[in-house]
Amino acid sequence: MAAPLSLQLVAECRVTKARLCRLRLPHHTVLTPVFMPVGTQGTLKGITAGQLEALDCQICLGNTYHLGNRPGPELITKAKGLHGFMNWKRALLTDSGGFQMVSLVELSEVTEEGVRFCSPYDGKETLLSPEKSIHIQNALGSDIMMQLDDVVSSTISGSRVEEAMYRSIRWLDRCIAANRNLEKQNLFAIIQGGLNAELRRVCLTEMIKRDVPGFAIGGLSGGEEKDDFWKMVTLSTDFLPREKPRYLMGVGYATDLVVCVALGCDMFDCVFPTRTARFGSALVPWGSLQLKNKQYAKDFQPIDTECNCPTCQRYTRAYLHTLYKSDTAALHHITIHNIAYQLHLMSAIRDSIEEQRFPLFIQSFMRRMYGSAEHYPGWAVEALATVNVRLE
Ligand SMILES: [Zn+2]
C-alpha cells in the first residue's frame, strides 16, 4: 500500500546536499527543511495552538509518553484524536515515548518485550512495548508516528550500543505489524548505532529494506562530541533514499540546523528554543540575549528590530526584563519570539535553497552569528567543507 505521504523535491542545492521539498501529509502540506516545535501534554509550554498557527508553524510534535498516561488514549480517541484535543488542524508528529527511557532512566528497565516504567504519576509499573506505543499513537491520530526504539546515551560505547541497534530493528518490525491505521498515519523508522559507523551502516541497510514512509536519525544530540555527531549525520544522509523524508532528532541550535540542512536533513525538533525561553534567553541572529541581565533594564529596543513576531512588535527588552522578575507572562512572550526565530530561520534557508544561494546564506549566517572566522566552531567548518562550502 502507498504511504499516506509524498515527498516532492522542489529544488536541490547544486553545491551542498541541501534540498527543498514539499512534504504532503494527511493534515497539511509542509515545506522542508522544517523545524518542529515540541509540545507536551497537548500544548506547547508557554504557547497555544492558535498562536503557533499565527506564527505559520506547519507541523508540531506531541509527546506520546505524557499523553498516553494523562489524559490517556481512550479520552484522546473521544476527542477525535490529538488534532481535536489540541484544536490543531495542521500536521502533527508524535514520538514513541522511547526517549523518556534516557530522561527517566532510573525509573525504567529495557527488555526484549519493551520498556518497563514506574509511572511518575502514580508509581504503578507499566510496560511500553512497540505495540503499546503504536496503539497510543494510532489513538492520537498523528500524521507521523515514530517507532519505539531502544535508546542508549550517545556517550556510551560497546556491546550495549550494538544490542540496542539490533533490538530497534526488531521493534521496528513489531511497530509495522501493530499499525492499525496504514491509510492515514505514517510510521518512521529510527536509525540507531551510536557513534559507530559500521553499526549505523548495518542499521541503515536493514531499515531501508523495510520500506517505511520516512526515516529518522536517532541516538545523537546527547552530549557526544560535535565531530562525531556530524560524521554520523552525513553518513546517514549518504545512505538514505533520496525520495523519502529524513528527520534528525533533537537538533535545534541555529548553527546545527544550518550545517545539518547542508548535510541533507529535512526535519528537526528540539526543546531548546522553548526551554531556553523559560530561562529568559531570547534567540537572535547574533546569538542570544539574557533578558534578566541588568544591561536590559533601560533598553527600549525590541528583542530583535528585524523580527516581526508579536513580541517584538509590542514589547521592549526593558519591559520583558522587568516582567521576567514578577510574572510568567514574560516566559510566554519570549517563547513566542524564540519559536518565530526558529521558523523564520528555516524559511530563510528554504528561500535560499530555492534561489540557489544557500552557500551564500551559510556564509552570511556564520558571519552574523560568530563575528569573524576565527570564532567559527571547528566542527562546522570541517563539516561544511565536506559539502563544498569553504567558510571565508
Ligand atoms: Zn521576535
The pLDDT of residue 44 is above 60: no
Same domain, 134 and 173: yes
d(Cα 310, Cα 250) in Å, to the nearest integer? 26
Q: Catalytic: which of 95, 143, 150, 256?
A: 95
Choosing from 241, 271, 301, the residue where a domain stops is: 271
Can you give the residue range of the structural domain that contains 282? Answer: 277-387
- As beta bridge partners, residue 284 has 287
Range in 37-41, 47-51, 148-152, 179-183 the model is least confident about: 37-41
Domain-ending residue, one of 237, 271, 305? 271
Ligand 1 geometric centre to CA of 258 (Å): 20
Beta pairing, strands 246-248 & 214-217: parallel
What pLDDT score was predicted for residue 79? Answer: 84
* β-pair partners for 9: 21
Angstrom distance (rounded) from CA 23 to CA 9: 9
Q: Is the pLDDT of residue 84 over 60?
A: yes
User: What total of structural domains would you count in the chain?
Assistant: 2
Only one residue has cell 504519576, namely 121
State the pTM of this model. Answer: 0.95
- The answer to whether 124 touches 118, Cβ cutoff 8 Å, is yes
| Unique residue bearing C-alpha cell 526484549 | 112
Ligand 1 centroid to residue 338 C-alpha, Å = 7
Least confident of 151-155, 225-229, 240-244, 294-298: 151-155
Chain center to CA of 372: 29
Cα 291 from Cα 303, distance rounded (Å): 9
Q: Are 310 and 56 within 8 A, CB to CB?
A: no
Q: Is residue 249 within 8 Å of 222, Cβ to Cβ?
A: no
What is the C-alpha end-to-end distance of the chain, expressed in Å? 49
Among the candidates 202, 236, 271, a domain finishes at 271
* Domain membership flag for residue 1: no
**What three-state secondary structure class fits 100?**
helix
pLDDT score recorded for residue 154: 85
Note the pLDDT of residue 178. Answer: 98
Give one DSSP letter per residue of 276-300, joined into a string.
Answer: HHTTTEEEETTEEEETTSGGGTT--
Q: Establish if 107 belongs to a structural domain.
A: yes
- Round to whole Å and give the CA distance between 251 and 28: 23
79 with 223, same domain? yes
Do 129 and 202 share a domain, yes or no? yes
Q: How many CB atoms lie within 10 A of CB 157?
A: 13
Instruction: Kindly state whether residues 142 and 281 are assigned to the same domain.
Output: no
Detail the residues annotated as belonging to a binding site for Zn(2+): 307, 309, 312, 337
- Are residues 256 and 292 both part of a single domain? no
Q: Identify the pLDDT of residue 131.
A: 96
Q: Are residues 257 and 326 in the same domain?
A: no
Cell numbers representing residue 289 in the block: 540575549
- Report CA(373)–ligand 1 centroid distance (Å): 27
Catalytic residue among 256, 266, 269, 304: 269
Residue 60 shares a structural domain with residue 185: yes
Please report which confidence band the pLDDT of residue 42 belongs to, taking 50, 70 and 90 as the band edges: very low
Q: Identify which of 196, 219, 233 has the alpha carbon closest to the alpha carbon of residue 386.
A: 233
What is the Å distance from ligand 1's center to 253 Cα?
17
Nine-digit cell string for 65: 509518553
Q: Is 154 in the same domain as 65? A: yes
Distance from C-alpha of 392 to C-alpha of 390, rounded to nearest angstrom: 6
Q: Which of 111-120, 195-204, 286-295, 327-336 comes out lowest in average pLDDT? A: 111-120
Kindly report which listed range (69-73, 101-105, 146-150, 347-351) carries the lowest average pLDDT score.
Answer: 101-105
Nearest to 147 by CA among 108, 174, 122, 125: 174
Q: Which residues have CB less than 5 Å away from ligand 1 (the ion)? A: 307, 309, 311-312, 337
Strand pairing report for 246-248 and 267-269: parallel
15 and 158 in a common domain: yes
Average pLDDT over residues 84-100: 87
**Residues in Cβ contact with 284 at an 8 Å cutoff, skipping those fewer than 6 apart:** 303, 304, 341
Question: What percentage of the chain's residues is helix, strand, coil (to nearest 5)?
Answer: 45, 20, 40
How do residues 162-183 score in pLDDT, each as one tens digit? 999 999 999 999 999 999 999 9
Q: What is the rounded CA–CA span in Å between residue 138 and residue 151?
A: 22
Q: How far is CA 17 from CA 180, 197, 245, in A?
A: 35, 20, 13
Q: What's the gap in Å between 53 CA and the centre of ligand 1?
A: 15
User: 235 and 328: one domain?
Assistant: no
CA–CA dist 355, 270 (Å, integer):
27
Of the listed ranges 210-219, 226-235, 318-327, the least confidently predicted one is 318-327
Asked if 205 and 330 sit in the same domain, the reply is: no
Higher-pLDDT residue of 122, 339:
339
Measured CA to CA, the distance from residue 206 to residue 147 in angstroms comes to: 15
Helix (H, G, I), strand (E, B) or coil at 206: helix
Does one domain contain both 10 and 155?
yes
**For residue 364, pLDDT beyond 90:** yes
Greatest extent of the chain over all pairs of C-alpha atoms, in Å: 61
Q: What is the pLDDT of residues 137-147, one digit of tens each?
A: 999 999 999 99
State the binding site for substrate: 95-99, 149, 192, 219
Sequence-distant (≥ 6) Cβ neighbours of residue 170 within 8 angstroms: 112
269 is catalytic: yes
